[in-house]
Structure 1
Amino acid sequence: MKNESPQRIYGDELKALRLTAGLSVEQLAKKFGVTPKSVQNYENDVSKIPTEHFLTLLQLSNLNLNPIFSHIRRLKAAIDYASVQRVSKRKKKIAHE
């Protein structure tokens, strides 16, 4: 089993996105401006897909990305809140010294 990492996009996921977009390896390679072998390398986990190609593939697959962006906004809000709390605690500590 693959070592699961939230930052890693696996080839089988890329292939699923390509198929969702209704594209062949050759068609996707043309859209990326790379050789079909490069696309195969991404899908076979031989090489990492460049970010701009991944974003293009997401657009081509017509997936609804709103849930992902909503999740990102919630995470950002939680991080911002935690940051404000840490600053507030430091100010209180300094005020009591």
Structure 2
Amino acid sequence: MRSGIHPETRPVVFRDRAADTLFLIRSTAAASKTIVWEDGVTYPLIDVEISSAGHPFCTGTARVVDTAGRIERFQRRYGRPATHRG
């Protein structure tokens, strides 16, 4: 690898605000806040709104939307749309 062209990576703590979970990973992201980790070392802190800890798809709480049933219900209720003849 050529030197001087790749961004610096360093340990950064990401805090998922929705799930109240902390992740210590390497990142190039800039942070303005810091936090003291379990090992006593101070790391940069970045707050995120959602991560794998709280995302419905990753936690298995995702809902499957029955679009076929919804379309059939709409068509029963309001009839099939008129075809355009032109």
Fold match, TM over 0.5? no
Return the TM-score normalized by structure 2.
0.36
Return the TM-score normalized by structure 1.
0.33
Q: Which has the higher helix share?
A: 1
